[in-house]
Amino acid sequence: MTLASDRLAPMANAIRALSMDAVQAANSGHPGMPMGMADVATVLFAKFLKFDPSAPKWADRDRFVLSAGHGSMLIYSLLHLTGYASPTLEDIRNFRQMGSVCAGHPENFLIEGVECTTGPLGQGVAMAVGMAMAERHLAATFGDDLVDHNTWVIAGDGCLMEGVNHEAIGLAGTLKLGRLKVLWDDNKITIDGDASLSTSEDIPARYRASGWDVFECDGHDFADIERALGQAAASDKPTLVACRTLIGKGAPNKEGGHDVHGAPLGDAEIAATRENIGWAHAPFEIPAEILADWRSLGEKGAKARAEWEARLAASDKGAELTRRMAGELPSGDEAAKTFAGWLESETTVATRKASENVLNVLAPLVPEMLGGSADLTGSNNTKAKCQSAFNADDYSGRYVYYGIREFGMSAAMNGMALHGGVIPYGGTFLIFSDYARNAIRMSALQQTRVIYVLTHDSIGLGEDGPTHQPVETVMSLRLIPNLNVFRPADVIETAECWQIALESAETPSVLALTRQNLPQLRTSGTMLSARGAYTLRRAEGGRKVILVATGSEVELAVKVRDALQGQGIGADVVSMPCMELFEAQDAAYKHEVLPNDPSILRVSIEAGVTHGWERFTAFSRNGGLNIGLDRFGASAPAKVLFERFGFTVDAIVPQILEKLSV
């Protein structure tokens, strides 16, 4: 069915009313954007978007991303009006209150119809790029009859100004992601005032320069909106539609001004708005006829979905697509068997190279793994032999050349994981995780299976110097909730950590890997890394010291232990590839590894800041001892740096003896 224009205006006003009333009830929120973009969103949902409110997780639905997430009442209104089970009207009444799924910004983990969490500006567009990439990849793999959908985005000036968005549009243009359509809320207002205070860009020209199509429309003229969205839908390029709007459209005394951006309208202006838009209904009351028009939109989608379900059932690829979209890994224990064989190999190898070896086992077995690097493929060792390039000529490729765009890559990986059907992993130097830090946080908050391969993980990278040497980086990543930070010590732990990362469906992972070679330290045991930490070497004689180390410093800890044992001092070595997983163990296991006995001296060794290690060492003899690097590094060969900064047996053993002697 197609709704005539005269039916659209009241539908759009329903969004305006719900938005202004919910913000007023909460006495907090952003009415300007939902009111300004109500007309555009109504046309999008009425005429273009493919969705079925009864099946929010339908694999072949169009994705809709509200990148300007502060305008959250827009999407809550749309989902409720079109008949999604969530949010209810009660949720909307409790906008921004504890327990309501209608949070201040849309959260993917609270409402199924919210495709991604879009609080931080710019990342919504960048995640949408990832969704569009996943769509093209799955379409190339499973065929257009099973995968054939668009990704629609609503973005504001803030999104467009952020650097991550620039990275995202450059990537989308290069990859010719024609299924990506961005509707720009061109209201010429930012929080500080007129957008001209801080920007003078010719935005259409900039997008065209990046390989995009650009169309424009009057964002309050339904026919013009439909014309422009139709052109966007027909384009085979990623497309920007500049929708000229009045922020807060409908509020007679405030529309077009920046005061309406982020504060309730107030009772008087709300009354004036009701008058102005002809909305004679009580707060949160939607007339049945208008609601029926909204609800009717789902019918088209339900029909399309039924047809798709039939195609899926008939396809010999249906089961595989269903498995992938469910996020279930392929069955079989081939990888585990291969890795078990490595125990006997005595391989000395950098963990970045070990990671490549692991990938060459896993990538052929797990076809949904989609790798890449931010222009450091040969350094991050992220490309498996079986992977060819993912590009506009071949979307079935499984390796993405992201370019020098760490943040854009990371946000795109979030979008891919949220889209489903692929498991994204991507590499850069560990230090440049700083550039992508908020996307990593968003992986964690959104509970996505994204795997960050972060190599060159300490001063062990050597000559490139302090700008490239992570010092605080590993510990700072450990502070992010719901993120597993792995720092494996050898090829065995690297294989284990990769497996854990793949199996963690709702927790992203960081693999912090060395540039330099490390000996194999483990020759027995299965999946010991899964407990986060374990005793790698046991004290002989009475245990007086426990050395806790990670990654490249485990080798050093073993040497320190041998030196202590040589002096008759019993010492354990605990390898701790993942603090977070160790923290999650029960008290009995934790005390087995780190006994609650303050007479034992606990010593941490890690080539990074010591702050944070006290959690594991301070409740110990004389407050414990932390060997680390509490300053920036320097430019020199790795071996020289480790010596200079005290990461040697000769430098560490005397400190331990002194602590023991007090």
Residues with catalytic roles: 406
Count of residues that interact with a second copy, criterion CB under 8 A:
110
Say whether residue 164 binds a second copy (CB under 8 A).
yes
Least Cβ distance, residue 292 to a second copy (angstroms): 31
Q: What residues from 580 to 619 belong to the interface with a second copy (CB under 8 A)?
A: 609, 611-612, 614-615, 618-619
456 marked among binding-site residues: yes
Bridge partner list, 195: none
Contact 343, 524 (CB under 8 A): yes
Strand ranges (E), 158-236: 180-186, 189-190, 193-194, 213-218
Site for a second copy in 430-469 (CB under 8 A): 431-432, 434-435, 437-438, 441-442, 444-445, 462-468
Q: Which is nearer to a second copy, 313 or 632 (CB)?
A: 632
What's the CA angle centered on 454, arms 439 and 520, to 5 degrees?
Answer: 150
Residues 115-154 contacting a second copy, CB under 8 A: 117-122
Question: Which member of 5, 540, 632, 657 binds a second copy (CB under 8 A)?
Answer: 632
Annotated binding-site residue? 204: no
DSSP reduced 3-state for 92: helix
Asked if residue 18 lies in contact with residue 80, where contact means CB atoms within 8 angstroms, the answer is yes
The C-alpha atoms of residue 450 and residue 440 are separated, in whole angstroms, by: 9
Going by C-alpha positions, the residue among 486, 479, 456 that lies closest to residue 576 is: 486
Residue 493, SS3 per DSSP:
helix
Does position 238 interact with a second copy (CB under 8 A)? The reply is no
Any contact of residue 402 with a second copy (CB under 8 A)?
Answer: yes
Return the residue of 641, 652, 653, 656 that touches a second copy, per CB under 8 A. Answer: 641
Q: Is residue 376 at the binding interface for a second copy, with CB under 8 A as the rule?
A: yes
Q: If you ran DSSP here, which 8-state letter would residue 44 be given?
A: I
Q: Which is nearer to a second copy, 27 or 524 (CB)?
A: 27
88 is a contact residue toward a second copy (CB under 8 A): no
CB of 90 to a second copy, least distance (A): 16
Q: Which stretch binds a second copy (CB under 8 A): 52-60, 236-244, 401-409, 555-563?
A: 401-409
Q: Find the shortest distance in angstroms from Cβ 658 to a second copy.
A: 16
Between CA 528 and CA 488 the distance in angstroms is 11
- Gap between the Cα atoms of 99 and 92, Å rounded: 11
Structure tokens, 89: 């009207």
Cβ at position 237, least distance to a second copy in Å: 11
Nearest to 569 by CA among 546, 607, 541: 541
Indicate the DSSP class of residue 526.
S
Any known ligand binding at 521? no
What are the CA-CA distances from residue 4 to residues 245, 278, 628 (Å)? 21, 19, 69
Residue 464 counted as an annotated binding residue: yes
| Residue 392 C-beta: closest distance to a second copy, Å | 9
Among 296, 472, 530, 660, interactor with a second copy by CB under 8 A: 472
Note whether 393 binds a second copy by CB under 8 A: no
Residue 537 among known ligand-binding residues? no
Which of 257, 302, 317, 401: binder of a second copy (CB under 8 A)?
A: 401
The secondary element (H helix, E strand) that includes residue 354 is helix 351-365
Which residue lies nearer to a second copy by CB, 191 or 326? 191
In the block, residue with structure tokens 């899964």: 530
Q: Does 256 bind a second copy (CB under 8 A)?
A: no
Residue 175: beta bridge partners? none
Q: What are phi and psi of 185, to 5 degrees?
A: -75, 85
Q: Name which position in 20, 154, 171, 260 contacts a second copy (CB under 8 A).
A: 171
Query: Any contact of residue 654 with a second copy (CB under 8 A)?
Result: no
Cβ proximity to a second copy, 483 vs 560, nearer residue? 483
Of the candidate residues 34, 158, 250, 551, the single one contacting a second copy (CB under 8 A): 158
Taking each helix axis as running N to C, give the angle between helix 351-365 and helix 491-503, from 0 to 180 degrees, rounded to the nearest 10.
40
Q: Which of 51, 215, 294, 407 binds a second copy (CB under 8 A)?
A: 407
Q: Please, what's the largest Cα pairwise distance for the chain?
A: 90
Between CA 267 and CA 497 the distance in angstroms is 56
635 binds a second copy (CB under 8 A): yes
Neighbours of 556 (CB within 10 A): 21
State yes or no: 380 annotated in a binding site. Answer: no
- Cβ contacts of residue 314 below 8 Å, gap of 6+? none
Residues 53-72 that bind a second copy (CB under 8 A): 69-70
- Asked if 337 touches a second copy (CB under 8 A), the answer is no
Q: Which residues are annotated as a binding site for thiamine diphosphate?
A: 70, 119-121, 158, 187, 261, 432
